[in-house]
A and B are shown apart, each in its own frame.
Chain A
Amino acid sequence: DTGVSQNPRHKITKRGQNVTFRCDPISEHNRLYWYRQTLGQGPEFLTYFQNEAQLEKSRLLSDRFSAERPKGSFSTLEIQRTEQGDSAMYLCASSPLSKTEKLFFGSGTQLSVL
């Protein structure tokens, strides 16, 4: 068990390009979450999966954002037509299906949109 893994660690892109991030959760964890964090702020919830089902999406997740977890294992977060305001750290977390639902976070993907 190596914890939650996110790739890439850093992504620099030009405005208008599409980007995709990957998250590999802890293997036995059913639940997977995406959060976004800007400088000096706490993480903000984006979306949540239980197995392959996307059960909740924040209003922060505009139509340009899409997340998938096709086989209930890894997840991808895609941003289409990136804007400078999308620059942030994108964090993935996973948790087991348990009463406590303690979250374990990955190291994040730092996105810079030029």
Chain B
Amino acid sequence: KQEVTQIPAALSVPEGENLVLNCSFTDSAIYNLQWFRQDPGKGLTSLLLIQSSQREQTSGRLNASLDKSSGRSTLYIAASQPGDSATYLCAARWSGTASKLTFGTGTRLQVTL
């Protein structure tokens, strides 16, 4: 069964700290993996998408990596700010299920002053 897991479920860090969010997936035949941000009661905002042929993608203070062999992706946030507080979700698309994203349950991040 193709599953996505995110641990921890919640994380609290002081402002300015660099942090890493983890995502693991069960099937290495991944097509792509996408990271999203979700604020309470709101929809999802796409942050980064990594294709299976790529190792990482960067956007501003965010860097996402993909290691298919180990079934892991990480989202690195540099110099965290209180405005980064949100739930971060990763979602995988596998080859043969091109229409469907499978999501993890998310990591709720709080950046404190």
Interface residues of A (CB under 8 A from B): 4, 6, 31, 33, 35, 40-45, 48, 55-56, 58, 91, 93, 99-108, 110
Contact = CB atoms under 8 A, between A and B. Distances in A.
B49 A91 contact: no
B60 interface: no
Given A100-B32, A100-B51, A110-B41, A45 B46 contact: no
Given A40-B105, A42-B4, A42-B91, A105 B44 contact: yes
Main secondary structure of the interface of B (DSSP, over half): strand
21 contacts: A6-B43, A40-B105, A42-B104, A43-B89, A43-B101, A43-B103, A44-B103, A45-B100, A45-B101, A45-B102, A99-B51, A100-B51, A101-B98, A102-B49, A104-B46, A105-B36, A105-B43, A105-B45, A105-B46, A107-B42, A108-B42
